[in-house]
């Protein structure tokens, strides 16, 4: 199952900003079933968010995040067909939106304002919204079965016998007929394609090394000069700005993080950042397809996107736990990759050689992250009670249900219940 991450980014008409805030507030009050645009009606939408952002260098801008199953070309017509009234209500506040146009014209307008990520991560790789919900229901039903059997004194003692009883229960329930076959999280074709691109990139770099080495040396020299003089974040973020973000956090087992940050000026940063994003994205497609990102197991969907002709970097993330724990994971487990990206944006903590120091400086990184984060105006999760470890455990339970397991493997499988 292919999953698609993208944002729709559009400039807000200045005289419509206050009205738009009212509409988005109505969506935020009940993201799943509100009367404007209830995200819960879409059976392939995992997460969505709405952010209104503007600064001295970026006019008021509407950023609508979508994390969906299937390709973009399938999703946009579904979005318009089932949510046309809400789409009109929301995007009519944006410059150039065709309010009275045909469905096809609206799809075309949305498509023209789609921004694809430069780098992204999917925690539940290859698992559709339907599959995530099915596997959660399967786990719950098995637990109920075990509790009932144990209470009645019918549960067999040995692990293989218990597992056999569970298998018989699942086979006999027509609700779980789908559990007989387990599709792969990533097909060999998908993985092979990503590995092929990685191999091609490495081969190309080796072949071009006589040309690239002097260019790289010059780039490093210029970069080190810039790193020594670039302005950095000084002191804590504005308390009111921090409070605006915190008011919308910790409302469920999951949270949402949003930031829109100006890219440092100049050719070096404008060239470096897209290359870094491309490299990280390729690495994510090859190495981080089993739930964690650089050792961080709590991220459902996250992505970086360049907007405003590359002058601003958007980061949107849907994750488990608190903001503090999330930033702590960044610092402890993924500071090199994060520094390589964000060191190209303004006021980031002092870095060395693009990827070092920076995010590893915990106190300053936290101050910078708060100062450059922005409140999420509306946020939707299709499964707010399911953390990434729970989703992965449910999948592993389903994958092992009919697999050939022996000895300790059977006991390890039963411990997932």
CA distance 82 to 280: 35
Does residue 213 have a pLDDT over 80? yes
Mean pLDDT, to the nearest integer, of 39-52? Answer: 98
pLDDT at 140: 98
Q: Do 319 and 302 touch, CB atoms closer than 8 A?
A: yes
Mean pLDDT, to the nearest integer, of 373-385? Answer: 97
Pick 250 or 304 by higher pLDDT. Answer: 304
Are β-strands 312-320 and 378-381 bridged in parallel, bridged antiparallel, or unpaired? unpaired
pLDDT at 254: 96
CA distance 235 to 320: 28
Mean pLDDT, to the nearest integer, of 82-94? Answer: 97
Instruction: DSSP for 12-78, please give it.
Output: BPGGGHHHHHHHHHHHHHSTTT-SS--GGG-TTEEEEEEEEE--SSS--EEEEEEEEES-HHHHHHH
- Residue 284's pLDDT band, with cuts at 50, 70 and 90, is confident
Q: Do 298 and 320 touch, CB atoms closer than 8 A?
A: yes
The per-residue pLDDT for range 256-277, each reduced to its tens digit, is 999 999 999 999 999 999 999 9
The per-residue pLDDT for range 146-163, each reduced to its tens digit, is 999 988 888 878 999 999
Which bin fits 408, alpha (ψ -120 to 50), beta or left (φ > 0)? alpha
Percent pLDDT > 90 in the chain is 81
Cβ neighbours around 94 below 10 Å, total: 20
Which token pair is 340?
């390589």
CA distance 2 to 205: 29
Does residue 208 have a pLDDT over 80? yes
pLDDT at 330: 87
Q: Do 416 and 390 touch, CB atoms closer than 8 A?
A: no
Does residue 322 have a pLDDT over 90? yes
Q: Which of 53, 51, 47, 42 is nearest to 78 (CA)?
A: 42
pLDDT at 155: 80
pLDDT at 291: 67
Where do we find the tokens 């990520």? 117
Residues β-bridged to residue 5: 67
Does residue 185 have a pLDDT over 90? no
Which bin fits 258, alpha (ψ -120 to 50), beta or left (φ > 0)? beta
CA distance 359 to 265: 20
Instruction: DSSP for 324-342, please give it.
Output: HHHHHHHHHHSHHHHHHHH
- Residue 205's pLDDT band, with cuts at 50, 70 and 90, is confident
Q: Do 284 and 120 touch, CB atoms closer than 8 A?
A: yes
pTM value > 0.75: yes
pLDDT at 260: 98
CA distance 338 to 360: 9
Residues β-bridged to residue 256: 318
Does residue 191 have a pLDDT over 80? no
CA distance 333 to 370: 19
Secondary structure class of 126 (helix, strand, coil): coil
Which token pair is 82?
């089932």
Cβ neighbours around 160 below 10 Å, total: 14
Mean pLDDT, to the nearest integer, of 110-129? Answer: 95
Which token pair is 400?
């092992």
The DSSP code for 254 is E
Average pLDDT in the chain: 93
* Beta carbons within 8 Å of 73's beta carbon, 6+ residues apart: none
DSSP E strands, 353-401:
356-357, 378-381
Percent pLDDT > 70 in the chain is 99
Does residue 71 have a pLDDT over 80? yes
Does residue 145 have a pLDDT over 90? yes
Pick 286 or 165 by higher pLDDT. Answer: 165
Gyration radius of the chain over CA positions: 24
């Amino acid at each position: 199952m292919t999953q698609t991450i993208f944002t729709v980014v559009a400039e807000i008409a200045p005289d419509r900003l206050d009205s738009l805030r009212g509409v988005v507030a109505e969506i935020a009050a009940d993201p799943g079933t509100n009367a404007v645009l209830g995200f819960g009606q879409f059976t392939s939408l995992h997460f969505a968010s709405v952010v209104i952002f503007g600064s001295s260098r970026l006019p008021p801008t509407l950023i609508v995040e979508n994390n969906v199953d299937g390709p973009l070309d399938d999703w946009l017509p579904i979005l318009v067909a089932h949510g046309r009234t809400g789409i009109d209500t929301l995007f009519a506040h944006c410059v150039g939106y065709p309010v009275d146009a045909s469905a096809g014209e609206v799809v075309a307008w949305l498509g023209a304002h789609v921004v694809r990520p430069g780098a992204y991560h999917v925690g539940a790789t290859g698992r559709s919204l339907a599959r995530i919900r099915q596997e959660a229901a399967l786990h719950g039903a098995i637990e109920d079965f075990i509790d009932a059997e144990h209470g009645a004194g019918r549960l067999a003692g040995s692990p293989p016998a218990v597992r056999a009883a569970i298998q018989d229960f699942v086979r006999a329930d027509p609700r779980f007929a789908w559990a007989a076959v387990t599709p792969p999280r990533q097909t060999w074709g998908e993985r092979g394609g990503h590995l092929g691109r990685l191999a091609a990139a490495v081969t190309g770099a080796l072949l071009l090394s006589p040309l690239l080495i002097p260019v790289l040396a010059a780039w490093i020299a210029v970069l080190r000069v810039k790193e020594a003089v670039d302005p950095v974040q000084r002191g804590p973020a504005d308390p009111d700005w921090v409070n605006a973000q915190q008011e919308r956090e910790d409302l469920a087992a999951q949270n949402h993080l949003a930031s829109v940050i100006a890219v440092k000026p100049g050719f070096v940063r404008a060239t470096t950042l897209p290359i870094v994003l491309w490299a990280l994205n390729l690495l994510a497609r090859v190495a981080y397809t089993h739930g964690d990102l650089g050792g961080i197991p709590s991220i459902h969907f996250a992505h970086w996107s360049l907007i405003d002709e590359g002058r601003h970097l958007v980061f949107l993330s849907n994750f488990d736990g608190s903001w503090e724990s999330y930033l702590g994971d960044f610092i402890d487990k993924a500071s090199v990759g994060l520094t390589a990206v964000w060191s190209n944006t303004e006021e980031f903590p002092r870095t060395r050689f693009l990827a070092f120091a920076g995010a590893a400086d915990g106190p300053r990184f936290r101050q910078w992250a708060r100062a450059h984060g922005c409140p999420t105006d509306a946020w939707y999760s299709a499964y707010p009670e399911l953390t990434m470890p729970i989703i992965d455990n449910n999948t592993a339970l389903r994958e092992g249900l009919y697999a050939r397991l022996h000895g300790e493997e059977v006991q390890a499988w039963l411990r997932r219940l």
